[in-house]
Amino acid sequence: MKLSLPSELSDPVLPHLPAMPHRLDAAATLAFLTPLQEHPPAADAKAGALLTVVGLMFTLLTGTSKYLIAVVARGDFQTVILGVALAGFGILSLLTVIEAFRTISPRFPAAPPSLAFFADIARLQRDDYIQKVEAMTPDEALEQMLRYNHTLSGICVQKFGRLRKALHYCRPAFGCWLVAMILTSLRMVF
């Protein structure tokens, strides 16, 4: 037996999705399936990798400290280059770490509440939440999803902006570290 839908309801384009009114079907398909969820973890993972890289660079510098001291004790042009490289590395890596942490935990922008967001759901009592969602019209449901998408997009932009800054600092920090390591290695070998 074929179940008939009310005339304003659409047969869903993707059959496993609940039906929406025809006028909202296309928007709802995109809004509910906009690929946003994977971006915040991606930014966090990259920031974590940057923190690891900076940690490794510090560890390696510490491991060769006795040769670093030997180069510093020379008091010639190598000492000056090493000093500049170490100072640059210290400052830039600190900025990288700060920006990486701000990527992982950004200051969230003020956003309208949305029943698609876990914190707003958790703020309600269970019965209130169920009652609100059950009483929702399709337009309101779509609106909740659009608000969520919009807020999450803003957060993603913020996160990737911070990450870009962290990378911006990390590259010259790596250069400084490389200079310091080359000088140390030369001291080690010769």
Partner 1 sequence: MTTTDLAAEDRFQNTDALLGATRLAFFTPIRNYPSLADSKAKSILAADGLMISVFLIYHDRLVMLLHNDYLGVVFLILTLLASFSCLLLIGGFCAYIALTMPIPPMPESLAFFPEIARLSLDEYRSKITVLTHRQVVHKILIYNYSLATLCARKFALLRRAMACVRAQFFLWLVITLVAAFAGKVDPKSPDKDNSPPRVDRKARVTHSRLSLDAPTVVAKGPATDE
Interaction between residue 186 and partner 1 (CB under 8 A): no
Angstrom distances, CA of residue 18 to CA of 5, 10, 82, 103, 146? 12, 9, 65, 36, 17
C-beta closer to partner 1: residue 117 or 160: 160
Smallest gap, in angstroms, from Cβ of residue 136 to partner 1?
16
By CB under 8 A, which span of 74-82, 86-94, 115-123, 148-156 interacts with partner 1?
148-156
Interaction between residue 46 and partner 1 (CB under 8 A): yes
Query: Residues 2, 35, 135, 137: which binds partner 1 (CB under 8 A)?
Result: 35
C-beta closer to partner 1: residue 62 or 125: 62
Q: Is 121 exposed, middle or buried (0-12, 13-18, 19+ CB in 10 A)?
A: middle
Distance, CA of 171 to CA of 167 (rounded, Å): 6
Smallest gap, in angstroms, from Cβ of residue 127 to partner 1?
29
Nearest in space to 162 (alpha carbons), one of 105, 118, 85, 111: 105
Residues that bind partner 1 (CB under 8 A): 7, 10-11, 13-14, 22-27, 29-31, 33-36, 38-39, 41-42, 45-46, 49, 52-53, 56, 59-60, 63-64, 112, 142-143, 146-147, 149-150, 152-154, 156-157, 160, 167, 188-189
